């Protein structure tokens, strides 16, 4: 089989490898589609502190089960599956409180263990989620990015009368936007970014108001209109955003952080306690695959609106370059692995 391997930072090869056999409790997936995510590019460029090399990247992938290991009773050959990249122990404190996404021995496919940019991958059977026939392949490969939005929104009980504000109109901001509009029916969702083309895509994904905060100061604009967001999601993840979010939030508002910056954010306690704000964070997904599959079956979200490019896996270098350089036109880039 062919696998896309990052040998070391900035060195990507398409390598011939042996097709792996599934061990006990595992299934083998013949992969047909995979999505490129920021973390794939970060591992490629050597900017992911968790990555070990060489590594088969890719944590958004879809395919068909073509072999099952010993003891697997709930999966069978030919089933169409999307794969949850989060592997957890099931016994530690975070696992015991329903947060396997921050398991103390967390393993993420495509980061800590070889992932899905490959013709085949062997994964724990419990991580392979069967996709109903009503969901097309191209939607199924988009389940993982929407699980991030399911995790974010699952922290904060969005209400129809929330005034939501999302920083960042990249793939993560837009999946969150779709969830807030389509699943939670939030009436007012504002999206903030510095790239007009991305804001236009946010409008096509249901944003009620978009703001280019590179051109206009956000706080002044909201104040002039008397708007105090009650729910803020930071899907742009610059360390300066949190203090602004605290300043613009409504009393009793909630803020969700998604970023991994190692730079300090400067905060004033009174800004938080004075309004009794709740600040959440969200990492990966805590068993949200069935949640998103249900959203897709009910057509509450529209994965197609985020897919901007397709490449054959042989063109993966070009695909990653487009993804990195063309933020104006690019959202989700898919790789096909057909023979
Ligand atoms: P992206 O880079 O495509 O999108 C970020 C967007 O934010 C860009 O459009 C950029 O123009 C905009 N932006 C940057 N600074 C801004 C500012 N000060 N104000 C307004 N907009 C600003 O990235 P993607 O894939 O959408 O991911 C977003 C962030 O979420 C990344 O930082 C990524 O590391 C993080 N992430 C977190 C996950 C989690 O589970 N916690 C999962 C996936 C991504
Ligand atoms: Mn992803
Ligand atoms: Zn655990």
Residue pLDDT, tens place only, 315-330: 999 999 999 999 999 9
Ligand nearest to the CA of 102: 3
Give the model's pLDDT for residue 338.
84
DSSP string, 59-108: SEEEEEEEEE-TT--S--TT-EEEE--EE--SSSHHHHTT-GGG-TT-EE
CA of 146 to the centre of ligand 1 (A): 14
pLDDT digits 0-9 by tens, 86-131 = 999 999 999 999 999 999 999 999 999 999 999 999 999 999 999 9
Give the model's pLDDT for residue 108.
97
CA-proximal residue: ligand 1, atom 27 (nearest): 172
C-beta 145 within 6 A of ligand 1: no
C-beta 173 within 6 A of ligand 1: yes
Closest ligand 1 atom to Cα of 285: 40
pLDDT digits 0-9 by tens, 141-162 = 999 999 999 999 999 999 999 9
C-beta 305 within 6 A of ligand 1: no
Spell out which residues have Cβ within 5 A of ligand 2, the ion.
Answer: 37
Task: Tell which residue, 102, 101, 151, 148, has the closest CA to residue 127.
Answer: 101
Closest ligand 1 atom to Cα of 236: 7
Give the model's pLDDT for residue 49.
86
C-beta 234 within 6 A of ligand 1: no
C-beta 241 within 6 A of ligand 1: yes
CA of 73 to the centre of ligand 3 (A): 23
C-beta 40 within 6 A of ligand 1: no
pLDDT digits 0-9 by tens, 220-275 = 999 999 999 999 999 999 999 999 999 999 999 999 999 999 999 999 999 999 99
* CA–CA gap between residue 283 and residue 31 (Å, rounded): 25
Three-state SS at 55: strand
Task: Tell which residue, 166, 163, 318, has the closest CA to residue 236.
Answer: 166
Ligand 1 probe mutation, 45, 191, 233, 237, most atoms within 8 A of CB: 237
Closest ligand 1 atom to Cα of 171: 26
Ligand nearest to the CA of 87: 3
Give the chain's mean pLDDT: 97
With beta carbons less than 8 A apart as the criterion, state whether 285 and 259 touch: no
Tell whether ipTM is more than 0.90.
yes
Task: Tell which residue, 138, 142, 119, has the closest CA to residue 1.
Answer: 119
Give the model's pLDDT for residue 255.
98
The answer on pLDDT for 339 being more than 80 is no
CA-proximal residue: ligand 1, atom 43 (nearest): 172
Ligand 1 probe mutation, 85, 153, 216, 236, most atoms within 8 A of CB: 236
Give the model's pLDDT for residue 55.
98
Closest ligand 1 atom to Cα of 281: 41
Give one word for 20, left, alpha or beta, with left for phi > 0 and alpha for psi -120 to 50: beta
Task: Tell which residue, 111, 113, 110, 93, has the closest CA to residue 102.
Answer: 93
Give the model's pLDDT for residue 122.
98
Q: What are phi and psi of 54, to 5 degrees?
A: -70, 155
Closest ligand 1 atom to Cα of 101: 40
């Amino acid at each position: 089989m062919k696998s896309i391997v990052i040998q070391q930072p900035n060195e990507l090869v398409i390598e011939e490898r042996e097709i792996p056999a599934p061990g006990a409790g595992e299934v083998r997936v013949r992969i047909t589609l995979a999505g490129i995510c920021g973390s794939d590019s970060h591992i490629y460029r050597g900017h992911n502190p968790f990555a070990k090399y060489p590594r088969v990247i890719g944590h958004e992938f879809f395919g068909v089960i073509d072999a099952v290991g010993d003891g697997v009773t709930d999966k069978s050959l030919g089933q169409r599956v999307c794969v949850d990249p989060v592997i957890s122990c099931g016994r530690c404190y975070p696992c015991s409180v329903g947060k396997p996404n921050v398991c103390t021995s967390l393993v993420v496919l495509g980061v800590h263990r070889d992932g899905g940019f490959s013709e085949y991958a062997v994964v724990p059977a419990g991580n392979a989620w069967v996709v109903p026939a009503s969901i097309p392949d191209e939607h199924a490969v988009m389940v993982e990015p929407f699980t991030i939005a399911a995790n974010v929104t699952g922290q904060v009980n969005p209400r129809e009368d929330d005034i939501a504000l999302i920083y960042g109109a990249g793939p993560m901001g837009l999946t969150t936007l779709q969830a807030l509009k389509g699943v939670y029916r939030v009436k007012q969702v504002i999206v903030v970014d510095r790239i007009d083309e991305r804001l236009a895509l946010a409008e096509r994904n249901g944003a009620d108001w978009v703001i280019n905060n590179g051109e206009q100061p956000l706080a002044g604009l909201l104040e002039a209109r008397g708007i105090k967001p009650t729910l803020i999601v930071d899907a742009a993840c610059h360390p300066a955003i949190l203090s602004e979010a605290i300043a613009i939030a409504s009393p009793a508002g909630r803020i969700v952080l998604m970023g991994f910056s190692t730079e300090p954010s400067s905060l004033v306690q009174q800004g938080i306690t004075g309004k009794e704000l709740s600040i959440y964070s969200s990492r990966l997904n805590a068993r949200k695959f069935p949640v998103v599959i249900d959203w897709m079956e009910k057509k509450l979200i529209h994965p197609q609106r985020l897919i901007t490019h397709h490449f054959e896996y042989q063109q993966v270098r070009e695909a990653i370059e487009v993804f990195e350089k063309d933020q104006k036109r690019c959202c989700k880039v898919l790789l096909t692995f057909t023979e």
